[in-house]
């Protein structure tokens, strides 16, 4: 998986510099989103490379809309009246299986009370132009083990109009499955193109 830097520069960047990246990002017109796979251990290095890539793309007239799933999760919990401190207290109070209960609570908030896909899409400006604007969805690892990104990706169908990239910490499990954080069992139902 150490090839992520070359894939970022040699595969993803040329696609994103095109006037309309959508046809090359996805085979589906109703979901112009791809998944960029990287080793979870490379999170900080990826963030540095993304900052450099963002600068190069902006110099070519693109506008990057960067949405952190960590920030969205915190916003969702806040909207639901749940503080991170309360979650930690509950986990400690519940003992050995407290982390499972907390993970279920977070999943319920992100699924029902403050749907994650709606939060992400709310960050896209109303005047977004698919020829100029690109959505970057980052910090997916923050969702582990509470929320699987396959759910998020499927909810974007027919809702996302600008090209998007989900930066996914995980690994490919043959023949075509993705293992979130390299820990979860592989999901085989991703419709998005893998880069």
Structurally, how many domains does the chain consist of? 1
Answer whether residue 188 is part of any domain: yes
Does the pLDDT value for residue 152 go beyond 70?
yes
Average pLDDT of the segment spanning 47-67: 98
| Angle between helix 84-94 and 98-108 (nearest 10) | 140
Answer whether residue 76 is part of any domain: no
Answer whether residue 29 is part of any domain: yes
Rounded (to 5) percent helix, strand, coil in the chain: 50, 20, 30
Domain with 156, as residue range(s), is: 4-68+122-194
Does the pLDDT value for residue 103 go beyond 90?
no
Average pLDDT score over the chain: 87
Q: Are 172 and 178 in contact (CB under 8 A)?
A: yes
Answer whether residue 38 is part of any domain: yes
Pairing of strands 164-173, 177-180: antiparallel
Answer whether residue 146 is part of any domain: yes
Q: Are 38 and 194 in contact (CB under 8 A)?
A: no
Which pTM was predicted? 0.88
What is the share, in percent, of the chain residues with pLDDT greater than 70?
Answer: 88
Answer whether residue 117 is part of any domain: no
Predicted local distance difference test score (pLDDT) of residue 176: 58
């Amino acid at each position: 998986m150490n090839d992520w830097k070359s894939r970022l520069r040699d595969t993803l960047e040329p696609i994103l510099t095109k006037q309309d990246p959508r046809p090359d990002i996805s085979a589906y017109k109703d979901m112009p989103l791809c998944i960029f796979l990287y080793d979870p251990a490379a999170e900080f290095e990826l963030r540095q490379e993304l900052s450099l890539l963002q600068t190069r793309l902006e110099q070519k007239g693109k506008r990057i809309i960067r949405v952190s799933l960590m920030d969205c999760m915190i916003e969702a919990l806040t909207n639901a009246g749940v503080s991170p401190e309360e979650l930690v207290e509950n986990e400690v109070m519940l003992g050995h299986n407290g982390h499972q209960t907390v993970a279920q609570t977070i999943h319920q908030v992100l699924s029902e009370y403050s749907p994650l896909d709606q939060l992400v899409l709310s960050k896209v400006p109303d005047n977004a132009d698919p020829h100029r604007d690109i959505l970057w969805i980052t910090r997916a690892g923050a969702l582990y083990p509470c929320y699987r990104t396959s759910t998020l990706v499927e909810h974007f169908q027919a809702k996302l109009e600008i090209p998007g990239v989900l930066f996914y910490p995980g690994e490919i499990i043959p023949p075509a499955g993705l293992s979130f954080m390299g820990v979860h069992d592989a999901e085989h139902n991703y419709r998005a193109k893998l880069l």
